[in-house]
Structures are given as structure tokens and as C-alpha cells.
Structure 1
Amino acid sequence: MVARSEIGVGVLARAVAILDVVESSPMGASDLARELDLSLSTTYRLATDMVKHGLLRKDQEGRFYLGQRFVTTALSDLAVPALRELAEKTGESAQLWVRRGESRLCAASVDSQHELRVALPVGTLVPLPQGSSGHVLSGDWEADPEAVKLGWWVSISERTPGSASISAPVRRHGEIVAAVCVSGPDGRMGENLGARMGHAVIAAARQIEKSVPGD
């Protein structure tokens, strides 16, 4: 048990204490309250708020785990090897995108070696649902039976005239937490984009999923 005096009385201090506990041992609200020497109502209220902000995740049995925000942050580094391989296979730029509110954020990026290329640096914010990754992260992908069957989403000159992209979802515990994307000039990406690059994008997404340590 963590002594109450070690936790502090502020909301931030208590939130950090909860994160410290569930990082090593996911547990329900009752066990968490007992471990932290806090009331059940306080613990449950704070943990529930942390779930809303993506700091914690709650499973069907009521146990709390580190949330998707921590997973997507970790993905930034873990995704780079897969993105490099994807960029080499396709000859185009590859990115990892994560959702941030009503926008998508470029969390990792590997540029094409072509002089004419689509370059999207880390930190780029794009409104949802523009672009193939935007549709994957906004929920459009899951609502489209054809996209779900294929495993990818293609976008041609949707966000930027003259550019094309194809994206596939990265999942964590069944939830889409990121999107892998290949983007480039539509003249070079050409027709039948899904048939030519779809399987490579899906393979990169699966590689990234496997690189994330399990709970």
C-alpha cells in the first residue's frame, strides 16, 4: 500500500499515483483505492475522468490500464522501423498518424527519396476527416464495409490537389489508435493504388501493433 502522505492531496498528485500503480499492475477501483489508501468514491471519480482523457483504459471486468495516450506516444518511436521499410518498399513517404481531438497529428514520418515528394513533418495537424488517415481515425473506415473488407482506405486529391494516399489502421485491444499512411504525388502513385500498396501498408500496421509491449 502507498501511504497517503506519499501521495499528496492535489488532483495531479493522485492522478500520477494511480498511473504509477496501474502501470505495474492493472486493477479495479476497489483494489486501487485500497492500494492508494483513498476512498472508493474519490478513486473511482478520478479514474473515470482519466479514462475520458485517454490517460487510463477500463476493460470489461472493470480493471484500469494505462490509456491510449501513452500507447500512441510510445508508437512514435516504435513505428519508425516499420515506416522506413514501408517507404523503401513503396518509394513514397510514410507516416504514422494519431487522433488529437477533431484533428490528426503526425507522430512519425519517413520521407521519400524522390525530389518530388509529399513531406509531412512530425507535429503536423490536419483536420478530420481529410485524407485517407483522417477517414481511418474519424470512424469512417469502420462504417464502410468495403474498406473494412479490404483493410485500407485510399484518398486521391482530397486534401491536397495532386497528391494521393493510402492508409490502414493500427489497433490496440480492438480499438483503432493510429493509422499508417503512404502518400505521394498522384501521378506517380498511379491507378490501382490499393492493389499495389495496400498489402504493404497493412503489413506495416501489423508490425507496429506487434512492437507494442503487451499489458
Structure 2
Amino acid sequence: MGGLFRKPHVTTDQTKTRKPAKTEASSGLQGVSAVERALTVLTAFQRGDGVVSLAELTKRTGLVKTTVMRMALSLESFGLIKRVEDGGYRLDAEVMRLAACYQHAFGLADHVTPVLERLARSTGETASFYTRRGEQRLCLFRVESASPIRMHVQSGDLRPMDKSAIAQVLRHFDVGRVAPKIDVPIYTSGVTDPHAASLAMPVFGPGGGLLGALALSGPVTRLTADYAERIRPELKAAGDELTKACGG
């Protein structure tokens, strides 16, 4: 089967690094351009990277080499990246420490993973949890279908904010309010890839803020509209369960 579906194998993430949008908060405050450039360099690293050359970082960020080098010096002083002998760069230990702090403070995996495992087992489809990252969606957690034919996406991958059910949920409920005339879970089939279908449900946290999208995905030949209708109540119940568990 073509498109995004194939037998799973390990590959390097080819997602292009998104340049941060220059936004202005309602208070009138603006971000610091030098900080944004430094974070552009830091977030240019992709899953599967070892050492990344200066030329490659320049290509990924769109910044000139001298700027990348200056930003890298600042990041290196905080232990976020490290320059190696051949002139390339790799992520350093501070990134791991921050990731551990995030997981400890948020504890989302403890709530989400058991729900994903249950959904994947009962529906036969891949279960995922996505959050929004600007104009991209991040696959935060994922439990694969037992089928050898499944979507070639892994935890940590970035996908565009397209017309898929997952992106629609992240877009419509981004402000934490139920969007008018939106019946959830949302189902889409073949809208961004002719072989991919998905069913997605919002999950909310304290104060009604959107935590992410709980989703089931699979090939259009298996996750049909009829089958999606049959499993809608199960996904909705799981989404409501997660919302309650996360304080929403």
C-alpha cells in the first residue's frame, strides 16, 4: 500500500524545522529576536540525529553560518548543545534534564499511555496523542496497531496542521472552548493522504485548556466511515476519561 502506510521500520525524522513565528502577546510585549534565533538552532535538531554539521544547521534554520555559530556558543554555555572535534554539534545533557523535569512535572504519560494501549487493543487501530506546536502537530505518545499495515509515524514526529481530524481538533479547540457546531469525535478519510483515515477527540486540562487530541488512525480500507461510527462512543468515552483524570 502506498502513501503513509507500510511495514514499520526505523528511519531518521525528515521533518523540516519550523522557524518560530514572530508573535506579539496581548500585553504588547514582543519576543527577543536573539533568543528566537538561538531557539531556532536548538529546535533544528531532529529525532535520529547524532552530530549535525554547521552546514546542515545553516540549511535547516535558514540562518547564516556566523549567526548559527554565535547562537551555538550561547546554547553550549547552558549545556544544551555541544561542539565536537570535527566542528559539528550534538545535543547535550541539559536537554535530557529538561525532558525529565517536563515528564515529572506534567505526568501526562501516566494517564495517556494506558488509555492508548486499551484503545489500540480493542479497536485494532493505532492510538495516538497529539499536541499543537505552532503550525505543526507533535505526536507525543503512540501505541501501534497490531496490524503490519499502519501509519508510518512515531512518537516525537511532527506533522502539518492539515485538514485531518487530528489537526481539526487541535485547531478548533485551541482556546479551550467547545467550538460551535463541532460534533466530536471528528472523522476524516483521505483528506491529506489517500490511504489514511483518522478519528480524533479533544482532551482538556485544568481551566478548560486544550491538552491535546486523542486519536485513532489507520488505512482507509480498515478505518472506514462505518467502522469509525461503531467505535466513536469508545473514543469519546476515553477522551472524557482522560479529561477528568487530567483535571479538566
TM-score range, shorter chain: 0.5 to 0.7
* CA RMSD, Structure 1 to Structure 2 (Å): 2.8
Say if 1:154 and 1:194, in contact at 8 Å, map to a contact too.
Answer: yes
Instruction: Give 1:71 shift.
Output: 10
1:125 aligned partner, one-letter code? L
Match of 2:115 in 1: 82
Report the residue type matching 1:90 in the other structure.
Answer: T
1:179 Cα deviation (Å)? Answer: 0.5
In 1: Cα distance, 2:141 partner to 2:151 partner: 14
Alignment counterpart, residue 206 of structure 1, candidates 240, 243, 246: 240
Residue number in structure 2 paired with 1:157: 190
Sequence identity of aligned pairs in percent? Answer: 29
Q: How many residue pairs get matched?
A: 145
Aligned counterparts, 1:38-57, within 5 A: none
1:130 is the counterpart of 2:202: no
Q: Take 2:118 and 2:193, find their aligned partners in 1: how far apart are those partners?
A: 25
Are the aligned partners of 1:166 and 1:193 in contact in 2 as well (CA < 8 Å)? no
Question: Residues 137 and 178 from structure 1, CA distance in 2 versus in 1: closer, same or farther, beyond 3 angstroms?
Answer: same
Q: Is the 8 A contact 2:162 2:192 kept in 1?
A: no
Residue-by-residue CA offset, 1:130-152 (whole Å, 9 max, x unaligned): 3111000011794451x33xx21
1:81-123 CA distance string (max 9 Å, x none): 0000011111010000011111110010000001111242111
CA distance in structure 1 between the aligned counterparts of 2:131 and 2:142, rounded to whole angstroms? 12
Q: Say whether the 8 Å CA contact 1:75–1:208 is kept in structure 2.
A: no
- Give the aligned partner of residue 28 of structure 1: none
Unaligned stretches of 5+ in structure 1? 1-44, 50-68
| 2:199 matched residue in structure 1 | 166
Q: TM-score, normalised by structure 1?
A: 0.60
TM-score, with length taken from structure 2: 0.52
Structure 2: tracts of 5 or more residues without a match: 1-26, 32-101
Q: Distance in 2 between matches of 1:127 and 1:72?
A: 27
- Secondary structure of the 1:196 match is helix
